[in-house]
Amino acid sequence: SAVISQKPSRDICQRGTSLTIQCQVDSQVTMMFWYRQQPGQSLTLIATANQGSEATYESGFVIDKFPISRPNLTFSTLTVSNMSPEDSSIYLCSVRGGPWTTQTGELFFGEGSRLTVL
Amino acid sequence: DQQVKQNSPSLSVQEGRISILNCDYTNSMFDYFLWYKKYPAEGPTFLISISSIKDKNEDGRFTVFLNKSAKHLSLHIVPSQPGDSAVYFCAASPKEYGNKLVFGAGTILRVKS
């Protein structure tokens, strides 16, 4: 299984500011995924980050609000821009299992970054 | 539009008894289903999965049942242990989207000793 580390684990932010979340994986992976879990709700995929190409965003999420970097095969960042209280969520980085994982679903998750926007 | 629904926000079970967590889905294109467990301050961890070609998958104390006609799956934990207390998420994967999981809102399981 992959070991995924996220920074920060939690933060309290002021409205209108931006925060960058870092995700480090202990092995090289092609695709990294960023999820959001708003309070009391399910995990929702924000975007898929591929190394060497632009991230692919899901409906309802845009690059200006959630810019993503993927400089190499073990690292990615997600920025939450111009934050408002509605952005208060847990943001999770995830990767697929290894090449032996033929099914789509076995994702490994980081511990999450809990953001509170005042 | 919630495609994956976990209608019970919480469940409380006595240690040693069976825990049954339920999940319903609406998209008939889903062909792979998973359960994840999440402890506080940790990310979700994969627990067990089932393909749509099966109706049951068992792994130790955990069994997942799939009823395709009813678009319903359930997770059975027998016997339940206090360490099983966590949030359980049901998730589904659409056929044509190879890497996307659609999650339910989760069910909080409390196992009382």
Dump pLDDT digits (tens) for B84-107.
999 999 999 876 555 678 999 999
Q: What is the mean pLDDT of residues A25-40?
A: 90
Buried b (16+ CB within 10 A) or exposed e, B43-72: bbebbbbbebeeeeeeeeebbbbbeeeebe
Establish if B49 touches chain A: CB-CB under 8 angstroms. Answer: yes
Of A93-102, B33-42, B52-61, where does mean pLDDT reach its minimum? A93-102
Express each pLDDT in B26-46 by its tens digit.
999 898 899 999 998 889 998
User: Above 90 in pLDDT, residue B54?
Assistant: yes
Instruction: Give residue A98's pLDDT.
Output: 52
CATH topology of domain A19-96: Immunoglobulin-like (2.60.40)
Q: What is the mean pLDDT of residues B5-23?
A: 97
Interface contact A106-B104, CB threshold 8 A: no
Confidence band of B12 (pLDDT split at 50, 70, 90):
very high
DSSP string, A27-85: S--SEEEEEEE-TTS-EEEEEEEETTS--EEPTT--TTTS-EEEEETTEEEEEE-S--G
Interface contact A41-B105, CB threshold 8 A: yes
B48 → chain A, closest CA residue: A106
Interface contact B93-A107, CB threshold 8 A: no
Which of the residues A10, A24, A42, A114 would you substitute to probe the B interface, choosing the one with the greatest number of B C-beta atoms within 10 Å?
A42
Instruction: Give residue A10's pLDDT.
Output: 96
Express each pLDDT in A38-94 by its tens digit.
988 899 999 999 888 889 999 999 999 999 999 999 999 999 999 999 999 999 999
Interface contact B43-A110, CB threshold 8 A: yes
Q: Measured between alpha carbons, how far is B83 from B86 in angstroms, rounded to an integer?
A: 8
% of chain A exceeding 90 in pLDDT: 73
Give the closest residue to B84 by CA, choosing from B33, B27, B14: B14
Residue type, A21: I
Instruction: Give residue A100's pLDDT.
Output: 44
DSSP string, B15-40: TTS-EEEEEEE--TTEEEEEEEEE-T
Instruction: Give residue B104's pLDDT.
Output: 95
Q: B37: domain CATH number?
A: 2.60.40.10
User: Above 60 in pLDDT, residue A103?
Assistant: no
Domain total in chain B: 1
Instruction: Select the residue of B51, B89, B93 nearest A43 (Cβ to Cβ).
Output: B89
Instruction: Give residue B88's pLDDT.
Output: 97
Residue type, B84: D
CB B66 within 8 A of CB B75: no
Sorted by sequence, the CB contacts under 8 Å of residue B53 that are 6+ apart come out as none
User: Above 60 in pLDDT, residue A99?
Assistant: no
CB B36 within 8 A of CB B57: no
Contacts of A108 in chain B (CB under 8 A): 43, 45-46
Here the tokens at position A6 are: 């996220």
